[in-house]
Amino acid sequence: MIIERVIEEAQPYLKGLKIKDTIIGISLIGLEISNNHVF
């Protein structure tokens, strides 16, 4: 699935952080991580 690919690619940048929320739409994928940054 798409979200697994996003998480795989983001692993180096997310070391030590946890994903709080995920939004998946037709043309948008957004992640909020534990330090409150949104991608």
38 found inside a domain? no
Give the predicted TM-score (pTM) of the model: 0.38
22 found inside a domain? yes
pLDDT tens across the length of the chain (39 residues): 777 887 788 788 778 887 787 777 777 777 777 888 877
Residue 36: predicted pLDDT: 80
Domain span at 22: 2-33
Q: Looking at the 3D structure of the chain, how many domains does it have?
A: 1
Residues 6 or more apart in contact with residue 21 via CB below 8 angstroms: 31, 32
15 found inside a domain? yes
Residue 20: predicted pLDDT: 80
CA angle, corner 4, sides to 24 and 21, nearest 5? Answer: 45
Residue 30: predicted pLDDT: 78
Residue 8: predicted pLDDT: 84
Residue 9: predicted pLDDT: 83
